[in-house]
Every structure is written in C-alpha cells, then in structure tokens.
Structure 1
Amino acid sequence: MAGNVVKTVLTAVVIIGVQADVGVSINSLIQIRKDLESVLIDLLNDLVRKDDVTCLVIICDAVYLNVFGGDFFRSTFAVPLVMILVEENEDLLSPNYDTLETLWQARTDGCNLYIIIMANGLQLTRLLKFGDRYRILDTRAKFIMLHDIRLFHSSLHYIWKRIVNVVFLKYHRNMIRSAKNKPWFDLLTVPFPNPIKGVFISRRVDTWSGKFHYKRDLFADKTGNLNGEVLNVVYFEHLPSVVVRKFNGTNEVGGVEIEILNTLAKKMNFVPKLYQPINSHIHKWGERCSNGSFSGLLGEVDSGRADVALGNLQYTPYHLELSDLSNPYTSQCWTFLTPEALTDNSWKTLILPFNLYMWIAVLLVLLVTGLIFYGLANYYINLLNYKNLKNEKHYNFKSNKKVGKLSEDAKPVGLYLFGEITNSILYTYGMLLVVSLPKLPTGWSIRLLTGWYWLYCILLVVSYRASMTAILANPEPRVTIDTLKELVNSKIACGGWGLQTKKFFEGSLDEMGQKIAERFENVDNPEKAAEKIAKGVFAYYDCSDFLKYLSVKRKIDMKLNNSSTKDVDEFNDKRGERNLHIMSDCVVNIPISIGFHKNTPLKPLADVYIRRIIEVGLVGKWRNDAMYKIRAMDTTEQEVKALINLKKLYCAFVALAIGYLLSFLCLFGEYIHWNFIVKRDPSFDKYAVDIYYLNKNKKT
C-alpha cells in the first residue's frame, strides 16, 4: 500500500453484488465483466471527485479478476489501493494469514471503501460474519458488492443493521437482442433505518445503463433522521448515570445518561423503548455464562436485542470488546468506601497545638535561655565581688579584717532571680507562661535579654492559644483511610462487583494494587457491603458518586429505624459500628460512555452530538441535578459550632492529675529524706534545727 494513505474518520462501504448465473455462456460472462468494469469505474471516479475515498480495498476471486485489469486502473483516478485475491477453496470464516494480515493493515490505515466482487455468495457471507465478529472489516466504511440472494438470508439480517453504507449491483441482461435495449444495473441498498421484518427487501437507489439515471447520492447519511424508528434501550440503575424513582407505582427513570439519550432521540428522530434486563439486580452489568453468552446489561447488547445500553459503562477494553462505546461524556473517580473511627484524644489536647518538633524547639529554647540567664547573673555577681574586694582592700588593710563575698542580702537587686540554676530555669519558665518577674533584674545585658525573650514568649503564647481555641471548637478528629497504602496497611478485606474489577487490580503495575487484588472479593449486594464496612472489616470499590449515595442511604435507613436517636455517631457508638468514609485519593479516573451494539452505524453521529453536549456544559448540570437530593440528605457536613463540653476539657483534669501525682511524689521523697537522712545525721538536733542547717550551709 502507498505510504501516504490519509487516515480519516469517514467510514462508508459500498458492496457490489452481481449474482453469478450458473447457466451463462462464456460470451455472456465476458460481457458482464465489461459492463461491471464500466459501472465500477463510474462509481469509483464519482466518489474520488467528492473526496470520499482515502484508501481502496478490492476483494475478488478468479472469476472476476479480469474486471480489474489495465483498463480499470487507467480509467480511474489514482488512489491508495489494496487488492486481495481470494482462492475458491479458502474458508473466509477463518481466512489464511496473508488475507487476514492484509485486511488488518487496510483497517489500520483507514481505508474507507471496499469493493467486494465474488461469484461465491456463501464464501462472501462467511467473510462478512468473520469481519463483523472480529472487527476486521470497517462496517462504517462504504461497500460495493454484487447482488446475491444468499446475502439476505435471515441469519445475516443483523449484518445489514451494521453495514448500511452499501450498494448492491444487480445485473439485468437484455433478453431481446437490440441495440436500443442495453444491459443495465440496479443499484440497491439496505432499508435502514426501517427494520428488516422477516424478509429482506432492498431499496433501489439508482440505475446504470452507461450512465447513472437519477444521479442521487449513493451513500447519503442514513443516521441523521431515523424517521421515528423505535430503538430498544436497556438500562441498569447506577447513580448518577441512571436514577430510578418510584412514582405512583411506576418507575420514573432519570439521570445523566437518560438526559443524553433524550437529546439524541430528539436530534436523530428516534423513539427510545426503555427496559431492564431480566434479574438486573442480580446480574447487573453481566458476566460470561458457561455457554459463552453474557447475562445482564452486556448480554442484551452482545446478543443484539438492545440498540443502546445505559448504565455507567466504563471505557475499558473489556466493554469495547462486547459493544461500541460512544466518546466518553465524563470521567469518574473510582475509589473505596472505607470505615472510619472517632479518635478520643481529648486527654492530650494540651500538646496538640504544637507538633513534636515544635515542642522540642520550645524546650531547647527554655533550657538554653535559662542557662544564659544563669551565666549572665553569675558574671555580674563575680564582677561586683571583684570590684568590692578591690575597693575595700586598702580600707581594710590596716584593720586586718577579712573581706568575704557578697551575702545574699547584699546581692544587687534582681540578680538573685537567676543566681541559681534552678531559680533561673523556673523564672524563665514563668516568663514563658506570661508570669511577670517579682523584680526587674540588674544589669543591662540581662534586661535586654529579658525584653526580647518577652517578645518571643508573647508570640509563642498567642500562637498556642489560637491553636488551642481551634482544637476545642472543632469536632473530634476522625481516623480515616485516604490512600491505597493506608488501605493495604489496615489489613481489612476489599471487594467490588465483577471479576473484571479484580482482574484490573491483578494487572496493576503498582505493588499496592496487586496486594489489593490478593484479598479482593466479588460482592453482588452493595448494601450488604455497607453493613460490613460499618463493622470495620471491609472496603467497597465503586465510583465516588455511587459511594456517596450508598453512605447517605445507610444513614437514612438508620434514622428511620431509630427515630429516637438523632445523632448518627451516638447511635453507631451504641451499636459498635463506624461511619462510612469515601477514600479521598482516587484509585483511577475512568472515562464513562454510552453503549451501542457492536459495529453500530449510529455511533459517529451520536459522538458528534455528545461532544456538543459536553462543550455547552449540560453533562455537569445534569450530574448536579442527579446528585442534588443525595447531597441535600447528607448530614455529615454539619455546621461547625464552637461548643466546649466536658469531654474536650479532659486535658485540664489530666494536667491537674499529673500535678497532684508529681506533688505527692515530691512530698513522699521529702518525707523519706527527712526521716532516713536528716534525722540520722549525728549533728542533727531536733531542738536546734536552725543551727543544724546553719552549720551545714557553712560546710557547703
């Protein structure tokens, strides 16, 4: 094939069929070939002039090989070409490698015109079945075929619901040999959108006898106006795509996909006939049965009973294999519904305003500042002692009096605050608690350090108080699972609907996804899954909107069953159950589409309208409408009130209890020291305790 083949979305196929007549003579067959060559030349040139051909595929057998000779290619415009010669004994329901590879390459390169001229109609029917089943043939391309009654057997009627851009060439011989009456071709097509009822009745488009008689558009769009045809639409309830409400004993169906369907029905002029598959609450989307067929929603589409499928179909290879999916109209966050628990951390509210590293920094600053105050105070005391000794040295020289250090009472004002290491730490800690010093310390270095340290204390205390106020005013924090890693570490079971979901996790390249697959369970009933989640032993996988509906529905059911209890959290605490929490991290964002039966001709135009619906923002509006009542009934987002209760002040009693305990330990230590150390000292006299401590201080 030429390398410059233009890839295009145009899909149309023309099929030309000339029924082989077993009783024709060789001369008649030669004449048929010449007439067939002429009509094909006119057809191909007409399509090329309209720029409707990107690539041409010719499939023929040995009987009609001479049709495509040198005269054919000299008389037609040059287009990229693929030609396949089918052997008379080749089974096209399982074609050989060369035929299969060439058909795949033509499909990949976007060839949108097929000319299939074969004498064996049965062989052609097997090719059509194979091409439709495995999507080897582009059913939305243009086809030209020979008319053969064997193509219209009732077992092939489903093919002509998928290949609608087709022209059959039916040859008529001139029975009276006259120059004025020449052989001619009837150009016929399928009666789409009218359904085929029992017998296939083709519709004439034009005739050719040297030239086209009516000069009509042979491949006019047949999907723009379906003339009020009834299309079977199967649906499965899944928020927000399809919402089913009971109204006066009947089901009122709404949701995003129902609104899209109504828009398509209005623009394409068809009447949707909605129905649910048998036992939809059990089979749901459907799975493969033992006989190879499918149940549920996918079974209706795969069998061809339904033209359109609504039910939040994910745009995945699994669904694409069984049906045609429209362009995605939105993408959804698929994640897990997990249990949550309240954390009773009120006993440590005092330390919650700062994190660990902040507390370490505060303690280090306290220790370092206390040591600096102590060092500066001792420096001033030593400096004053040195000056006192120097000034009084000459005065006391004659009197031979010994001059000692400054006494405690003689120390400068304020230096006693930081003269001892214990006092220095305590007064530094007092300033951190915004407790003023009893006296202003002496010494400019200590005074300057005190001023800047006070600024630090004010900023620190204001930050602590503001954070403490927010903690006391806000509700209790909850322990939630918000990432796949946390879910894996939680060791709880996981599950969802369908084996394909488990296969999705099994094929994950992420280690966490593979660990989820190891304990993934198939769950048919989401409500039972919600009960297991409330017990804290399960996590359910679905789209976030449906999980929101599931959690709200459970809360409403709980309120209806227990009308005496207004607080859901209180009711859960009594039953030992937990609230339901939607994991904030998305496992995957999956595109969502509307389903059609395989190789449907409706998809190209439906994609155009869906794209316009998305561009004007209708999908977002319809989604909000579908979820409005769910959000309105959600009571989890309550107004945060600044209420302080006794439970939130447990920290105060904990701090008081710690103070009592430490005081008692200190008292007990002093009692032991008094009775086992002080009283046993030989110099101790209980009648002169002051003399005992005076002598002891002199020794130290």
Structure 2
Amino acid sequence: MNVILTILLCCLMSASAEAKPHILQCLHDIAERHFEAGSNLVIYYSMGVHVNLHAPSKYVKSLRQVESNLLQMDIHTWDLVLADFYLSEKWTFLHVQSHDEHNSKYALGRKHGSYILIAAHGQIEEAMEDIRQQIINLKVRRDWNPRGNFLILLLQTDTLSEDAQKKLAAAIFTEFWKYWVANVVVLTSCPETRRPDADSEKDILPVLDAYTWFPYRTPASCGEITEAILYDRWVLDKEGNGHFLYNVSLYPHKIPKHFHGCPLRVSAFEYPPVMMRMKTDKDGTISYEEGIEVKLLHEMVKRTNMSILYRPPPPDNGYWGEDLGNGSWTGLPGEIIRGYSDVALDNFWYKCHLINEMECLVPHFEDSARWFVPCAKPYPRWTSITRVFKAYLWLGFLAAYIIVALFMWIVVKVHYKIRSSDTHNDAYTNIIKCFLNFWAVILVESASDDPPRVLSIRSVFLMWVLYCWAVNTVYQTFLTTYLVDTGLQSQISSEEELLRSGIEYGVHKAVLFHIPHLASKHYPRRITCVTFEECQARAAIKGDLAFVFSTLNMAYVIAEKYMDGNGKPLICKFDEVISNQIISTPVQKGLPMMGEFNDVIQYVIEAGLLEEWLKNIKYKATLTSAKDFSLPPGEYTKLTLEHLQSPFYFLFLGYLFSVVALIGEMVLRWKAKPHYK
C-alpha cells in the first residue's frame, strides 16, 4: 500500500512540474528554513479549502493558467502541497482534518514541532472562528506544543484591505496568546490595491504578506498585543519564481530574558516549610515572608526581573486540588488550568503527566509519604513504684513470701511438738506473727531475734533475709530511675501493628490521588481529612488517629508545634516509606519564562541552597518550640512532689487501710463485750 501511495504522489508531482503553484513554493521555503528536520509537522485544515490569487499572466509564465486569469488552490493543488511535504521525508507528517472526531486521541509520542493551520474563510469573524476551533481541537492533544512554530494560512483574504488584514492577524495573535503561543506567522494574500504598484525595475510582484508580532516589544507591554507587524513578503519575479523580499527569519527569538517588572501571578497557601508567614496588607496585597519555595521564587523573579502577585489561597480547602472527573480540577491545578495564575507553589507532588493542560518546571526537591502515629504516652507516675518489676516477678515474690512464712511456721510447730522441753517463742508458732515477722524482713525492719536454736530453722530464716536484701537492693537501685522517667507505653511501629491497633487512620484527598491503594478494603477504618491540620492536631492531642502525609511538612510541623514539655515529639513516623514523590512547580502550558526558571532551579540545586534553607528553617522552628520546654538545667534532676506521686499514693492507701482496720477492730471489740439492758 505504501508503494502504491508513493508512486501516486510521484505521478502527481511529475504532472505538475510545469504548473507548480507559488503557494507551494512559499510553504516549502518556510518549512525548509524554519521547521526542524525530524520533528513532527501537523497540517490542519477545514474541508473544502479553495483560494483565488489574482496575478497578471506575464509574471507567471511557468504557472498554470486558467480562465479569468486566476490562480486557484483547489483540492488538486492541495494534494500537491501534501505530496511535497510527504516526499521530502524530513518531518513526521500528521495530516488533520476538522471533521476528524478522533484526532485528539491520536498522539505521536512526542511534542509537535511545527503547525500549519489553514482557514478558508474570507470574513474576519468566520476566519477567527475557524482558527479558534482548530486551536481548541489541537490543544487537547497530549502532544500539543505551544512553543512550536505556527504558520497560519488565510486563503480568501484578497478582498480585505491592508488594515483589515492587520486587524485579523492581531486577532489571531490574541487568540494564540491565550495559550502562550508566541511563534505565530500569518500568511495573507497581498491586497489588490498593491498590485499596480509593483516595482517594474526589479520585476517583482508581491503575492503573500507574512505578519508576526512581538509580545514584549515595549517594556510596559507585558505581553499585551498592540498590533500585527508586516514582517516579510513573498514576491514573484517575471519568470514566476518566488522568494521572500527581505529573507529574514520569520521566527526570531521573541521572549526576552528580562521582563521589566511584569507581574507573575502565583497561587499558593500557607504550608510550612515551603510557604510561611502569609500577610495581607490593607490594600489586599498578599505576601509570604519565609519558606523554601518563597526563597526559590524570589531567585526566579530576580533572574527574570518580574514582580510577584500572590493570589488568595484556594477556597474551601482546595489546596492541591481534586479531579472532578470531567477534565477540570479544583485548588491549585484548577487555577493554573483556568488561567487565573501562572505558577503554583506549595510542595506540589508531580502530576503533570496526568494533567494535560499544564506542565511542570524541573523538580527541585524530593518528598515521601509515610504513616504518622501518636507517639507512645508515658506511664502514669503513680505506677512508678510498681513498674520496677514485672507483674510475674511481683507474683513470684509474693508466692515466695507466703511459702517461706508457712514453711517456717510449720517447721517451728513440729519442732516444739518433738521437743516440748524447749522454751516456746510464739513469734513463730502464731501464724499471724510469723507472717508479720517475715514481712518486717521484707521492709528491712527488725524481726524476732529468738527463733528456735535449730540449724535448719535458722538457715531458712537467714536465706529469707539474704533473698529480701538482694531484692531490696535491686528495687531501690532502679526506683529512682522510674520516679524520674516513668518510661513509655507500647509504640505502634509498623503498618501491621497499626491495623491491629483498632485506631482510625486519616488520608487527605490530595494524598489519596497519588496513593490510590489507601482507599482499598485493606484499610477499613479510613476517614478523610478535610484539612491536614485537623488530622495532625487529633493525632497529637487525642492520640486516637494515624494519618499518611508528607515527611517534609511533618518534620517541620512536629518540631514547631507538637513537642511536649520535655522536648519529645507527640507525633512519630514509621521508618517504612509508602511512596516517594518528587516536588515540582506547575505552570501554565507554554509559559514563556519557563526556560529561565528551569535554569535558576538547576543553579540553586547545584549550589545546595535548598538543603541549607530547609536546615535554617528547621533550626528556627526548634528554637521557637524550645522556649516552652521544662527540661531541668544541668545533668541532675531535682525530685519534686510530682516525681513522688507513687510513694505518696501508696502511703495514703496504707493510711486508709489502717483506718479501716482500726475501725473494724473497734467494732468487733465492741460487739464482743456483753451489753446489759
């Protein structure tokens, strides 16, 4: 099939060797000089293209002559134009017609390099609507390139005056500038009033006018379109050969390096450590005084000599935006797509590959999403006196006390039964007194010093004394440590432990867009964080919520807001990373100063300034929160009533039991006495 198509195109070219239209020469010349070889070339036109170009026959001897002395670009001529581009094999050729409903679904896999758009309407309104519709159809494609070279061919404009053609060209430039397209050339037929004024000495005849514009021609223009400029003209000599009169580049560099204070519209909201200390003046002007991306933005506008115009934060907690499902977004991406702002900041996780209507600057930082959970709470101080030993050790100690005391009582009782002549010591024959004596040994108090003079009995007593001495030594050694630092309860340290813990976990909508698996059934207790501050506060204060969020942001927020009086964090993170994310700056697609901004970002990264800025900001946050710390000065800690809660609690508990025992004894004694009426 390709062979047949090639043979057919060659036949068309051979048949027209003596009738090659001058418009074909003009398009071929522009393509050869200005369209990069190997790039994608898009030709877009409406069906039924037809043009009439008037010219005296003496200047077009080698061109095809038809009735009424007209040059017509009909379907046959248009086929020759397409054949010429196809056979050159210099560009990847994409031929688009306005009726093609599937053209937006087709993509070449890389950006388009050049465009040729043809409008077949002679009236300004109709031509503008035709061009506008073509732009809309092209810009929805993923390979749309607003930085490409655009050639607009207006076929039926020979009846328009020069002023009308300039107005039409200016209107076209205005329409293209809505999408930041600057490299546009409009080709129109020369007005009929110019034909009698041909230069007879040079034997040239103007045929096509090439209009262009310069968005920053004057320092105060800031991209405003003032007028179209007649930049060059396609002329014919008497042999019918065409060329450009001035032979200048039709696509000169139009974007300056300095923009003379032109405003850069920026969408942002307060989000540490990248955008901090937002202030609003009386006139409504918004400014940010601190932050990594604030400093980076200042470097970019300093390089390009622009002024910053901050927009108010997105309404309804839009933040990083939500995909509404119909190609539109809320939040920062929505403001970029709708053209409200030129640049968006605030730790923007890269998603320009998912949103066709905007593009991103080179990444300038790396972030990660992690689980953040409440840090383990300290044990209550009243438990300090009991936490020196584990529960099973206390039970073992109690069991040893009961067993040894009973054993001692039984042995003594048996001894006195065998040797009834010995003096009885009721300190060990009375079971209650025996238990009290062994309890006194535990408390390092004096006990009865006259146990039976039997080696085995006194050996048991000595072993109990040594055992209690060892236990007391260990207990008193660690008691002070537990009084000062009660220790921490169990810390959730993995996702498995989190899922078993039973607490809820919050995920912000912006995070869920990048990590969709968090919405699966594997996380049944997931809730949506309306604001990230809400989830942070709940996790730190109530301690009943875990959440997934940015490591970069939380490192600063924890250091500044969520530290306890001892300088320990209230929110902890898992070591495992859920997802690594690169941070970039979204801009409108085709933003002219994007190249300069990328250069600044590259220089800042190579200089290590971003890490240095972040380090300084974290250090200031630590100093700010340190003023509320209650850490003791020096190496030692003074014990206060707060530290001795546990001993006093047990003291009062002992007093309570003593009073109850006293009252009980008195009641029993009173009941034991006879009462006479």
- TM-score relative to the length of structure 1: 0.58
1:683-698 maps to which residues of 2 (within 5 A)?
none
Instruction: Give the match for residue 636 of structure 1.
Output: 628
Any conservation in 1 of the 2:409–2:431 contact (CA below 8 Å)?
Answer: no
1:606 and 1:359 mapped to 2: Cα distance? 65
1:223 and 1:129 mapped to 2: Cα distance? 24
Instruction: Give the match for residue 130 of structure 2.
Output: 123
2:443 and 2:207 mapped to 1: Cα distance? 108
> Aligned AA for 2:418?
K
Any conservation in 1 of the 2:515–2:579 contact (CA below 8 Å)?
Answer: no
Any conservation in 1 of the 2:146–2:180 contact (CA below 8 Å)?
Answer: yes
Instruction: Give the match for residue 509 of structure 1.
Output: 519
Any conservation in 2 of the 1:374–1:420 contact (CA below 8 Å)?
Answer: no
Which is bigger in relative contact order (C-alpha 8 A, separation at least 6)? 1
| Cα distance, 1:504–1:489 mapped onto 2, change above 3 Å | farther
1:432 and 1:329 mapped to 2: Cα distance? 67
**Cα offset for 1:264?**
1.1
With 181-190 and 345-354 compared, the bigger mean Cα shift is at: 181-190
> Aligned AA for 1:238?
E
Instruction: Give the match for residue 485 of structure 2.
Output: 470
1:399-414 maps to which residues of 2 (within 5 A)?
405-406=418-419
For 1:270, which of 305, 317, 321 is the aligned residue? 305
Any conservation in 2 of the 1:377–1:418 contact (CA below 8 Å)?
Answer: yes
Q: Does 2:112 align with 1:101?
A: no
Instruction: Give the match for residue 12 of structure 2.
Output: none
2:408 and 2:587 mapped to 1: Cα distance? 86
1:537-556 maps to which residues of 2 (within 5 A)?
544=554
**Cα offset for 1:503?**
9.4
After superposition, give the CA deviation of every residue in 1:416-462 in whole Å (9 maximum; x if it has no partner).
99999878877776666566888799569967897677555533432
For 1:597, which of 569, 577, 588 is the aligned residue? 588
| Cα distance, 1:452–1:500 mapped onto 2, change above 3 Å | closer
Q: Does 2:110 align with 1:110?
A: yes
> Aligned AA for 1:64?
W
Q: Does 2:179 align with 1:168?
A: no
> Aligned AA for 2:652?
A
| Cα distance, 1:659–1:538 mapped onto 2, change above 3 Å | closer
**Cα offset for 1:362?**
2.8
> Aligned AA for 1:509?
A
**Cα offset for 1:123?**
3.4
> Aligned AA for 1:360?
Y
2:515 and 2:87 mapped to 1: Cα distance? 57
2:310 and 2:257 mapped to 1: Cα distance? 23
**Cα offset for 1:86?**
1.0
Any conservation in 2 of the 1:287–1:294 contact (CA below 8 Å)?
Answer: yes
Any conservation in 2 of the 1:283–1:295 contact (CA below 8 Å)?
Answer: no
**Cα offset for 1:509?**
0.7
With 362-371 and 458-467 compared, the bigger mean Cα shift is at: 362-371
Report the 3-state secondary structure (helix = DSSP H, G, I; strand = E; otherwise coil) of the residue aligned with 1:126: helix
**Cα offset for 1:96?**
0.4
Instruction: Give the match for residue 604 of structure 2.
Output: 613
Instruction: Give the match for residue 362 of structure 1.
Output: 394
Q: Does 2:174 align with 1:157?
A: yes
2:480 and 2:606 mapped to 1: Cα distance? 50
**Cα offset for 1:176?**
7.7
> Aligned AA for 1:101?
K
2:434 and 2:210 mapped to 1: Cα distance? 109
Any conservation in 2 of the 1:313–1:592 contact (CA below 8 Å)?
Answer: yes
**Cα offset for 1:110?**
1.5
2:402 and 2:671 mapped to 1: Cα distance? 33
1:638 and 1:465 mapped to 2: Cα distance? 19
Backbone CA RMSD of aligned residues: 6.6
1:15-414 maps to which residues of 2 (within 5 A)?
30-37=21-28, 39-41=30-32, 43-44=34-35, 47-48=36-37, 53=38, 55-59=40-44, 64-69=78-83, 72-77=85-90, 81=92, 83-86=94-97, 90=99, 96-97=101-102, 99-102=103-106, 105-106=107-108, 109-120=109-120, 122-132=129-139, 134=140, 136-148=142-154, 152-154=169-171, 157=174, 159-160=176-177, 162-164=179-181, 166=183, 168=185, 170=187, 190-194=213-217, 195-202=222-229, 204=231, 225-228=257-260, 230-234=262-266, 238-240=270-272, 241-244=275-278, 253-255=288-290, 256-267=292-303, 269-277=304-312, 301-304=336-339, 306-310=341-345, 324-327=359-362, 329-330=364-365, 345-353=380-388, 358-368=390-400, 371=403, 405-406=418-419
Any conservation in 2 of the 1:146–1:169 contact (CA below 8 Å)?
Answer: yes
After superposition, give the CA deviation of every residue in 1:370-409 in whole Å (9 maximum; x if it has no partner).
6479769989999xx8xxxxxxxxxxxxxxxxx9624695
| Cα distance, 1:510–1:604 mapped onto 2, change above 3 Å | farther
Instruction: Give the match for residue 18 of structure 1.
Output: none
| Cα distance, 1:588–1:192 mapped onto 2, change above 3 Å | same
> Aligned AA for 2:21?
I
| Cα distance, 1:188–1:453 mapped onto 2, change above 3 Å | farther
Report the 3-state secondary structure (helix = DSSP H, G, I; strand = E; otherwise coil) of the residue aligned with 1:64: helix
Report the 3-state secondary structure (helix = DSSP H, G, I; strand = E; otherwise coil) of the residue aligned with 1:157: helix
Any conservation in 1 of the 2:364–2:605 contact (CA below 8 Å)?
Answer: yes
> Aligned AA for 1:36?
L
> Aligned AA for 2:228?
I
Any conservation in 2 of the 1:193–1:226 contact (CA below 8 Å)?
Answer: no
1:651-690 maps to which residues of 2 (within 5 A)?
651-666=646-661
Instruction: Give the match for residue 461 of structure 1.
Output: 476
1:37 and 1:246 mapped to 2: Cα distance? 56
> Aligned AA for 1:243?
R
Any conservation in 2 of the 1:235–1:310 contact (CA below 8 Å)?
Answer: yes
Any conservation in 2 of the 1:337–1:547 contact (CA below 8 Å)?
Answer: no
Instruction: Give the match for residue 65 of structure 2.
Output: none
2:226 and 2:26 mapped to 1: Cα distance? 29
1:293 and 1:28 mapped to 2: Cα distance? 51
| Cα distance, 1:64–1:119 mapped onto 2, change above 3 Å | farther
Report the 3-state secondary structure (helix = DSSP H, G, I; strand = E; otherwise coil) of the residue aligned with 2:148: strand
1:421 and 1:345 mapped to 2: Cα distance? 37
Aligned residues: 566
1:407 and 1:224 mapped to 2: Cα distance? 119
| Cα distance, 1:248–1:452 mapped onto 2, change above 3 Å | same
> Aligned AA for 1:660?
Y
**Cα offset for 1:299?**
7.6
Structure 1 gaps, min length 5: 1-24, 386-402, 556-567, 570-580, 681-700
Any conservation in 2 of the 1:193–1:223 contact (CA below 8 Å)?
Answer: yes
After superposition, give the CA deviation of every residue in 1:315-373 in whole Å (9 maximum; x if it has no partner).
56899577544455456799999999x9994544433555xxx1233322442476479
1:96 and 1:313 mapped to 2: Cα distance? 34
**Cα offset for 1:257?**
3.1
- TM-score relative to the length of structure 2: 0.59
**Cα offset for 1:166?**
3.3
2:248 and 2:439 mapped to 1: Cα distance? 99
Any conservation in 2 of the 1:224–1:605 contact (CA below 8 Å)?
Answer: no
